[in-house]
A and B are shown apart, each in its own frame.
Chain A
């Protein structure tokens, strides 16, 4: 009769620069059954994962400790292209895969923090045509972007006329 939510999940992932050489990225999950935190610290600019910690605030069970120890296998790896594959491979067999996903979210947030920085460092396009030009240049600078999503796929104004084989117009 009532539209009461059956299950609810909040996930907040944040990246903080704690000093010139260190980023802290943490993922906090708070849902109907669990309240947990996974945190990594990453050296800059190598983006090497130097520490991993985890904690469960609700429900508390000793067995979670084992899974958090599992996550420490990624210490020493670097956040770069292919990191998700490495995280998945190194955490294979972890009992609570949710924590492995939270670790992936932490890594992903680090990458997005640099994307944000890069976007902010360039002049904000004032109009649509400027925006198209700006994104087109991104593709020309890194042709890997071509067809990586709908915005950069054939048919989009951004990639109109770009030859994906040569990376030129």
Chain B
């Protein structure tokens, strides 16, 4: 018996010499939606759009219908799929975004066959779909700051010399972030954290630019990188090489070893929006055997973009494997800076100190922001 089925049908009708009408229908075990999209053939531009729900999980789903109009004017080229996912997927509904992409790329294919018919050419092997420029990481997420989780601490332990937010994202280096570096630093100073690490997605900060920022704010800013591998996202510190695209984790490990730097598995057990990894049935015994942990030096056990349960599970895995643990906010907006951080026993002056301290186990993940705000209001 099938566990799940989704069917989509798209029909393309020629309304006139300049216009196609794409009628799309998506019907799966959970949802059923329909959509009509009017597309200009010559510019492949969306002229009008309408949609309706046939079957939904909550009546609030219908609130998304008016936002479909935000697709009007978009052209089916370049970063079209990324734009649709960002605008329609977030403001309306990801399933409508999926159907819209299906309608538009089918229309694009239809326009090609129309042109080929006109030119009497038949090349059936040039089907194109999508683009490879989607940098949408979907990582603008929140976590509650509950300090019930004993994997962190609540008080500024006097044995820590410094507390550093090891995981932050700034715009425009990370397109998914809504906060500038200046805002990150200002907020970090305001809440009393000692330093931040800039860990933008597949981005190497220029050392002189960061030094200028340090001088400007009189605040320690360290450079890192969040690199996407075939085994998930990794925080890397101490490596200058700029890695673009997806790299195999074993290959990244070779680069890290060659440069005497460090890899930290970032949020390795982040679950789906509606289903956590434990609901899928992942046990601790199974999780610790994942090959990813053979290639990392530490695990991020406190991450501000996952749930408390996910952080708790990650901590258990790190504990079982005996790997060092770190904490970081994964901040994509200013209110998340310092939610979690890492406490260091020794003074950290630069990335080399950071790498050494983590490898030697002289650092610990901490719950920071709630402590700071509670203290400030006391």
Q: Which residues of A does B touch, CB under 8 Å? A: 3, 5-17, 23, 31-34, 44-47, 59, 61, 63, 74, 76-78, 80-82, 84-86, 88-92, 96-98, 100-101, 105, 108-109, 111-119, 128, 131-132, 135, 138, 141-153, 155-158, 164-168
Interface contacts beyond A9-B10, A78-B232, A112-B28: sample of 20 additional A-B pairs, CB < 8 Å, sorted by A:
A7-B110, A7-B113, A15-B2, A15-B4, A16-B3, A31-B106, A46-B290, A59-B124, A78-B231, A89-B228, A115-B30, A115-B272, A119-B57, A144-B142, A145-B273, A151-B64, A156-B60, A157-B60, A164-B142, A165-B335
Q: Are B142 and A9 in contact (CB under 8 A)?
A: no
Interface residues of B in 93-146 (CB under 8 A from A): 93-94, 98, 102, 105-107, 109-110, 113-114, 124-125, 127-130, 132, 134-139, 141-145
Q: Are A101 and B129 in contact (CB under 8 A)?
A: yes
Stretch from B11-19, B159-167, B177-185, B341-349 forming part of the interface with A: B11-19
B199 at the interface (CB under 8 A from A): no
Interface residues of B in 309-349 (CB under 8 A from A): 335
Cα-based distance from A140 to B116 in the complex (angstroms)? 53
B378 at the interface (CB under 8 A from A): no
Q: Are A97 and B60 in contact (CB under 8 A)?
A: no
Stretch from B188-196, B208-216, B274-282 forming part of the interface with A: B274-282
Q: Are A44 and B281 in contact (CB under 8 A)?
A: yes
Cα-based distance from A168 to B272 in the complex (angstroms)? 20
**Also in contact, A14 and B280, with CB within 8 A (given A63-B125, A118-B274):** no
Closest 5 CB pairs of A and B: A89-B246, A150-B64, A7-B110, A167-B144, A113-B4
Which chain B residues border A152 with CB–CB below 8 Å?
A: 60
Cα-based distance from A152 to B5 in the complex (angstroms)? 25
Q: Are A77 and B230 in contact (CB under 8 A)?
A: yes
Q: Are B134 and A88 in contact (CB under 8 A)?
A: yes
B40 at the interface (CB under 8 A from A): no
Q: Is the interface of B mostly helix, strand, loop or mixed?
A: loop
Cα-based distance from A23 to B7 in the complex (angstroms)? 18
Closest residue on chain A to residue B7 by CB atoms: A12
Report, as a range, how many residues of chain B touch the other chain.
Answer: 35 or more
Interface residues of B in 271-299 (CB under 8 A from A): 271-277, 279-283, 286, 290
Q: Are A109 and B4 in contact (CB under 8 A)?
A: yes
Checking B58, B127, B271 against A33 with a beta-carbon cut-off of 8 angstroms, the contacting residue is B127
Q: Are A97 and B11 in contact (CB under 8 A)?
A: no
28 contacts between A and B (CB under 8 A): A5-B12, A6-B14, A6-B20, A7-B106, A7-B109, A8-B11, A14-B6, A33-B124, A46-B286, A76-B231, A80-B272, A81-B270, A81-B272, A82-B137, A85-B246, A86-B230, A88-B130, A88-B132, A88-B134, A89-B228, A89-B245, A90-B246, A100-B129, A135-B57, A142-B276, A143-B143, A166-B144, A166-B145
Which chain B residues border A12 with CB–CB below 8 Å?
A: 5-8
Cα-based distance from A167 to B282 in the complex (angstroms)? 25
Checking A61, A77, A145 against B274 with a beta-carbon cut-off of 8 angstroms, the contacting residue is A145
Q: Are B230 and A116 in contact (CB under 8 A)?
A: no
Interface residues of B in 25-47 (CB under 8 A from A): 28-30
Nearest chain B CB to A10 CB, angstrom units: 5
Checking A10, A32, A88, A143 against B9 with a beta-carbon cut-off of 8 angstroms, the contacting residue is A10
Q: Are B13 and A97 in contact (CB under 8 A)?
A: no
Cα-based distance from A133 to B313 in the complex (angstroms)? 27
B67 at the interface (CB under 8 A from A): yes
Checking A8, A16, A91, A157 against B2 with a beta-carbon cut-off of 8 angstroms, the contacting residue is A16
Which chain A residues border B30 with CB–CB below 8 Å?
A: 112, 115-116, 119
Q: Are A6 and B114 in contact (CB under 8 A)?
A: yes
Q: Are A32 and B113 in contact (CB under 8 A)?
A: yes
